[in-house]
Amino acid sequence: MSPAEGAHQLCALQDLDATGCREFRLGRGEWPLRGFVVRAADGGVHAYVNRCAHLRYPLNYDADRFLTQDGKAILCYVHLAMFEPETGRCFSGPCSGLSLARVPVRVLGEQVLLADDIDPEEFAARYA
């Protein structure tokens, strides 16, 4: 199934097969918002802004690598905070109790799309 007209595609579900995550960019210009889609252990698909709840650094050290080795948690490689994939809430590390910023998404067929009521430019500007 192809994305609905006007929908903003973040990735395909199969893009999550290798690492469980896929990075995306929202917005135009030299400093687009960077985010990532993650598939949780229960199969649910979620997306977050790639900015740690601790010191706001990007979480990953390598492309599409956001999970612990067992795939059960999102890991910030800067100071090793761990977050629940389903909620984005930090359960271990220096920002325990804080959460990643969620990017609203929906799954249509094999595509992960930005939620219909979200304007990509406006959303990206919130984090500029």
The edge-to-edge listing of strands for the beta sheet with 82-83 is 74-75, 82-83, 90-92
Task: Of 53, 26, 48, give the one whose Cα is nearest residue 37.
Answer: 48
57 binds ligand FES (CB under 6 A): yes
Single residue of 26, 33, 54, 67 touching ligand FES by CB under 6 A: 54
**CA gap 62, 77 in Å, rounded:** 10
Contact by Cβ (8 Å): 23, 112: no
79 versus 102: smaller Cβ distance to ligand FES: 79
| Range 82-101, binding ligand FES (CB under 6 A) | 93-94
Residue 68 one-letter amino acid: T
Residue 28 or 79 having the CB closest to ligand FES: 79
- By C-beta, is 65 or 106 nearer to ligand FES? 65
Contact residues: ligand FES, CB under 6 A: 52, 54-55, 57, 76, 78-79, 81, 93-94
